[in-house]
Chain A
Amino acid sequence: MNSIIFSAAARLLVALLFVFSLFMLLRGHHLPGGGFIGGLIGAVAFIVYSLACGPAEARAALRLSPEVIATWGLGIALLAGLFAFVMGDPLFTGQWYWVGGDSYETAAFSINSVLVFDIGVYLVVLGGILSLTYAFEEET
C-alpha cells in the first residue's frame, strides 16, 4: 500500500497501539484486560506496520520470527504453570507475593505467577496471529 498519509500515520499508530497493548497486558487479572487481548492489540500494531511498509520490513522490525515468539510464549506460560509445583500446589495455581501490604487493596504492587502466565499468553497470541497474517500477506 503506497499512501503517504497512511505510512506517516502508521508510525504514530504503531507506537500507540503497542504501548496500549502492554498497558492492557499489565492491568489484567484484577481489571479488564490481560495477555490475550493485549496480544491481539500488539498483533494489530504489527499488522498496521506491515500494511504501511510491507511484510518484509515488518518481519525485520519483529527481529524474531513470529513462530519462535509463540513458542517462547508457550514455554513461559508452561513455566508459570509449573512454578506452582515448586510451592506444592496443583498446576497453574496462582502464586502471589504482595509488596508493601498483604492484599490487592493495600499492597503497592505484586509479583505473581499469573502475570508471567499472561506474558506467555501475550507472546503466543502475538506470534500466532502474526504468523498467520504474514503468511497470507506474503502469498498474495
Chain B
Amino acid sequence: MSWVLVMPIAVPFAAAVGAYLLRNFTAGRYVSLAGSVLSLVASAVLMAAVLEHGVIAGQMSNWDAPFGITLVADYLAAVMVVITAITGLATAIYALGEIPEHVEGLGFHALFQVLIAGVTGAFLTGDLFNLYVWFEVMLIASFSLLVIGGGKERLDAGIKYVALNLVSTLIFLSGIGLLYGLTGTLNMADLRGAVADLDNQGLVTVIAMMFMVGFGVKAAVFPLFFWLPASYHTPYFAISAVFAGLLTKVGVYALMRMFTLVFVGDVGFTHEILIWVSLLTMFTGVIGAAAQTDFRKILSFHIISQIGYMTLGLALFTPLALMGGVFYLVHHIIVKANLFFVAGLAKQYAGSTDLNRIGGLYKSAPLLAALFIIPAFSLAGFPPLSGFWAKYLIVVAALEIEAWFVAFVALLVGLLTIFSMTKIWGMAFWKPHPDGIDPTPDRAPPGVTRAMMAPIAGLAAMTIVIGFYPEPFVQFAETAAMQLLLPNDYVDTVLGARP
C-alpha cells in the first residue's frame, strides 16, 4: 500500500534528476513531459486506491506511527494530488511552447518537477515536521523559478516573495516547536488525541494562531497577502500559472487539515476569526482587482479573492460548507491556472498584458476568446460552469446556518468578479487594438501556439465537464468533507496502519 503513496512524489523527483542532467538537450524537456505523464498515472492509481479503501496510510522506512514519517491519503489529499498532476502536465505542455531554450538550460524543467514533488509531498504527508520540509522543498524551487530568466522586475518580485515566505515559514516552525513541547508528538493523527487531552487549552489556541498566520501567509489571506500581487505577474506565464493554481492552495490545504484535525478545541474562537479573515480576503481581493489594468495583476488579485471562499468553507465548519470548500479548491486550481495560460497566449498574440495596450483579440483569435470565456465565467460563477456549483454550495451553507451577512458578501464578491472578467473581456478581446493593428500570432511558430493552446483547451473542457456533470464531484467532495469533520478513519488508519 505504501508504494501507491510514494510514487506521486518519487516520480517527479526522478524526472527532475533526468531533466537536469539532460538540460542542454531537447531530450530534457521530453523527460520532464514524460515525468508529468507518469505522475498523472501514479496519482490516478493513488486515487483508485483511496476510492476503494477510504483512507490509506504507509509508514516510511518501516518505522511505526507515531514515531516515523507517515504518508497518508484521504479523499481530500488524493484529489489534491490528482489535480496537482493534471496542472503539472498542463504546465509541462505549455512550457514546451513558452520557455526559451536558454532558460531550459538553466534547469527550468528540473526545478519545475521539484516544485511538483514538493506540492505533492505537502498534500500526502501525515507528519507536521515533514510538512515543514515539503514546504521548504516547494519554496526553494519556487524561489528559483520566480527569478529564473533574470531582469529587474523578477528580482524585485523575488525579493519580496522570498522575504515574506521565509518569515511565515519561521512562524510555522516555531509553532511546530511549541506544539511538540506541549504534546511530545508531531504525527498529525496522534496530535488530534494529544491536543484534545491537554489541560492548557488556552495555549493550544495561541499555537493555533501561529499556525493560522504561518499558513495564512502561504494561502495569501487578508491581511497577509501582499507578497502575491507583488510577484505573480513577473515570471514566465507557465510558472505563474502553476504558482497561481497550486502554491496558495497548499496553504489552504494545510489550514483545512490542521483546523479540522488538530485545532478543533475552540472552534468558536478560531473559526470565527477565520470567517472574518475570509470575508475581508474576498472583499479586498476583488476590490484590488478592480483597480488594476494588467491582465495578470487582475488575475492575481482574484486569486486572493477566491482564496477567501475556500477558507470560508472551512471557517463555517458545517458539512455543507466544507464540501463547498473542497469543491471550490478543485475547481479553482483548474480555472485559475487556465486563466494565466490564456494571459500568456494573449500576450503572444497582442504583445502585452497591459489591457490598455492590447485589444481586438476577439476578431483575430476567436478560439482563444471562446476559451477565455469558459474559465472567466466559471470564476465569476455563471451557471452551469463549475464555479457556479462551488459558489452555490458555499452560499447555501451560509444561509443554512443563517449567516446572512456572510452569504451577502459571498454573492456581492461574485458580482464584482463578473465586473473584472468583463473588463478583461472588453479591453483585451472586444475593443479594437489601440495601435489599429490586428493582433496575430505571426511572431511565434505554429508549434509554439499549438503547445500553448492544447492545455488551455484541455482545462476548459474539464471546467465544462465539472459544470455539466457535477454530481460525482459533489458526492466526492461530500465524502471528503465528512472525512475532515469526523477524522476517526484517518486517525485509526494512520496509527494502526500496517507497514
A contacts B: CB pair < 8 Å:
yes
B61: Cβ under 8 A from any A Cβ: yes
Q: How distant is B296 from chain A, measured CB to nearest CB, in Å?
A: 30
Q: How distant is B207 from chain A, measured CB to nearest CB, in Å?
A: 30
A-B contact pairs, 6 of them (CB 8 A): A68-B20, A71-B16, A74-B17, A89-B499, A91-B61, A93-B62
Interface mask (B1-32 → A, CB under 8 Å = 1, otherwise 0)? 01100100010011011001100000000000
B274: Cβ under 8 A from any A Cβ: no
Across the interface, do A75 and B14 meet the contact criterion of CB distance under 8 Å? yes
Across the interface, do A85 and B17 meet the contact criterion of CB distance under 8 Å? no
B contacts with A, residue count (CB < 8 A) = 18
A92: Cβ under 8 A from any B Cβ: yes
Across the interface, do B61 and A92 meet the contact criterion of CB distance under 8 Å? yes
Give the residues in chain B near A75, CB-CB below 8 Å: 14, 17, 21
- Contacts A89-B62, A94-B61 aside, 20 further interface pairs with beta carbons under 8 A come to A67-B20, A68-B21, A72-B17, A72-B21, A74-B13, A74-B16, A74-B17, A75-B21, A78-B13, A78-B17, A81-B10, A90-B2, A90-B3, A90-B6, A90-B58, A90-B59, A91-B2, A91-B3, A92-B61, A93-B62
A82: Cβ under 8 A from any B Cβ: yes
Partner of A90 from the list B10, B20, B61 (CB cut-off 8 Å) is B61
Q: How distant is A99 from chain B, measured CB to nearest CB, in Å?
A: 23
Give the residues in chain B near A82, CB-CB below 8 Å: 10
Give the residues in chain A near B107, CB-CB below 8 Å: 67
Give the residues in chain B near A71, CB-CB below 8 Å: 16-17, 20-21, 110
Q: Which residues, 44 to 58 on B, are CB-close (under 8 Å) to A?
A: 58
Q: Which residues, 80 to 122 on A, are CB-close (under 8 Å) to B?
A: 81-82, 85, 89-94
Chain B contact residues, majority secondary structure: helix
Q: How distant is B404 from chain A, measured CB to nearest CB, in Å?
A: 50
Give the residues in chain A near B20, CB-CB below 8 Å: 67-68, 71
Q: Point out residues on A near B: beta carbons under 8 Å.
A: 67-68, 71-72, 74-75, 78, 81-82, 85, 89-94
In the bound complex, what is the Cα–Cα distance between A78 and B11 (angstroms)? Answer: 10
Across the interface, do B61 and A93 meet the contact criterion of CB distance under 8 Å? yes
Give the residues in chain B near A91, CB-CB below 8 Å: 2-3, 6, 10, 58, 60-61
In the bound complex, what is the Cα–Cα distance between A82 and B2 (angstroms)? Answer: 12
Across the interface, do B60 and A90 meet the contact criterion of CB distance under 8 Å? yes
In the bound complex, what is the Cα–Cα distance between A89 and B62 (angstroms)? Answer: 7
Closest chain B residue, CB of each to CB of A70: B20
Give the residues in chain A near B60, CB-CB below 8 Å: 90-92
Give the residues in chain A near B16, CB-CB below 8 Å: 71, 74
Q: How distant is B346 from chain A, measured CB to nearest CB, in Å?
A: 35
Give the residues in chain A near B13, CB-CB below 8 Å: 74, 78
Q: How distant is A68 from chain B, measured CB to nearest CB, in Å?
A: 7
Across the interface, do A78 and B61 meet the contact criterion of CB distance under 8 Å? no
From A68, A89, A91, residue with most partner B Cβ within 10 Å:
A91
Q: How distant is B382 from chain A, measured CB to nearest CB, in Å?
A: 45
Give the residues in chain A near B21, CB-CB below 8 Å: 68, 71-72, 75
Q: How distant is A94 from chain B, measured CB to nearest CB, in Å?
A: 7
Give the residues in chain B near A78, CB-CB below 8 Å: 10, 13-14, 17
Q: How distant is A76 from chain B, measured CB to nearest CB, in Å?
A: 9
